[in-house]
Structure 1
């Protein structure tokens, strides 16, 4: 069966509620079709592009709920597509897919603001599950919980917004979820393995370096207001509020 054409949008099954549009940018037709089929079956709308330039244009035009982005694309590669989105203050959740199991590629992608990263070959069901996890982070809880505050940092959980003093700081969905997870547990130190399981929602196969890079990004964005501390050989935590 031939794969979808570039620019193809998959219809959402009538027996499944639409869960949002996902733009898939993947130049290998067979892989694009597997991703499209599994996302559509899970209730997502899907738009497929085959190169970085067309993918970037599609994201800017369609305003999807999430983007699945192959790193090794013709034209603009996936890393450059993500770079341009973030430079334009577009914080749509991005999940990188790559055939290269290279930690340098992984770190560069995460530092650009990617929310997750999977390496080929991957389980299509796992990829769909990770899309769902990232979207739940991005949308935040349905109810309106009280904001989290610690020192100069305040998290508006209902609107998924972060503030230092009165200035808003743009965090990716994963960065926000990581910071909120730590701020809900002041005084506790969580291991990298715990954070992978509890924040990312899957086993530590993603690697401890993933946590380190995201923590570094949060710290860089919050500057000297960052409440996150490192406990060598153990993990990360935030100080309990004084008094």
Structure 2
């Protein structure tokens, strides 16, 4: 089941019609109220298409609430918007959106992105990876990260960034590689985005933040041993 939250009746009906033709079960909502009511009464959807510009409660607020509930935080969400600004993209992706569609988008592109997101999320949900580096641990199934036994809270992108670095210890990633692998090559962001997230991640990791090493002129790598001169 795919939920589509879109206040434009014409767009919503076209999306629902196309998805039904493609073999998906779908349900449409024009605002947040019936959407939340359905979530509380019916089985959770496999994916949500969520417009940013909505009456009553906007899409970013809905996404933030979704990611705050343990039962709903893993539902893949594709944001849709007519604005297409970098600010909206960064906000949506940092709050845990899995992909982005900028209106007007083609129906074939929409189906392709939905299938790609479903493949990624279903594959990740079927595998559990537990990683440990010094006093830092990460569990991919329940998205729990601990430092010296204390749990810390990370955004979706911070978690994905840490997971990639911990799964490839000592490997040097360029900023562009991290941007492509964590944010996706369809997202037009500057490599400065990586630096900002690395800085925030180091702060949240506390004593283990020094595991993330800066390789001057190249990018970043993760190792337990750390040389302060690399800062």
Return the TM-score normalized by structure 2: 0.72
Query: Is 1:163 equivalent to 2:138 in the alignment?
Result: no
Indicate conservation of the 8 Å contact 2:50/2:80, yes or no: yes
Once the two structures are superposed, residues 172-219 of structure 1 have per-residue CA deviations (whole angstroms, 9 ceiling, x without a partner) of: 66554433222222223323432343345544x432366567656755
Once residues 108 and 25 of structure 1 are traced to their aligned partners in structure 2, the CA distance between those partners, rounded to angstroms, is 18
Taking only aligned residues, the RMSD between alpha carbons, in angstroms, comes to 3.5
Once the two structures are superposed, residues 204-239 of structure 1 have per-residue CA deviations (whole angstroms, 9 ceiling, x without a partner) of: x4323665676567556645544445556644x332
Equivalent residues in 2 for 1:1-150, closer than 5 Å: 21-62=1-42, 63-89=44-70, 90-91=72-73, 92-139=75-122, 140=124, 142=126, 147-150=130-133
Once residues 18 and 137 of structure 2 are traced to their aligned partners in structure 1, the CA distance between those partners, rounded to angstroms, is 38
Once residues 101 and 193 of structure 2 are traced to their aligned partners in structure 1, the CA distance between those partners, rounded to angstroms, is 12
Counterpart position of 2:229: none
The structure that is helix-richer by fraction is: 2
Once residues 155 and 53 of structure 1 are traced to their aligned partners in structure 2, the CA distance between those partners, rounded to angstroms, is 35
Once residues 125 and 173 of structure 2 are traced to their aligned partners in structure 1, the CA distance between those partners, rounded to angstroms, is 23
Once residues 201 and 95 of structure 1 are traced to their aligned partners in structure 2, the CA distance between those partners, rounded to angstroms, is 13
Indicate conservation of the 8 Å contact 2:138/2:145, yes or no: yes
Indicate conservation of the 8 Å contact 2:213/2:223, yes or no: no
Once the two structures are superposed, residues 37-85 of structure 1 have per-residue CA deviations (whole angstroms, 9 ceiling, x without a partner) of: 4444554332211112222333343322222110011221112212332
- SS of aligned partner of 2:138: strand
Question: Unaligned 5+ residue runs, structure 2?
Answer: 227-231
Once the two structures are superposed, residues 129-160 of structure 1 have per-residue CA deviations (whole angstroms, 9 ceiling, x without a partner) of: 43344444444164555x22223332334x25
Once residues 2 and 195 of structure 2 are traced to their aligned partners in structure 1, the CA distance between those partners, rounded to angstroms, is 28
Indicate conservation of the 8 Å contact 1:68/1:95, yes or no: yes
Question: Unaligned 5+ residue runs, structure 1?
Answer: 1-20
- SS of aligned partner of 1:114: coil
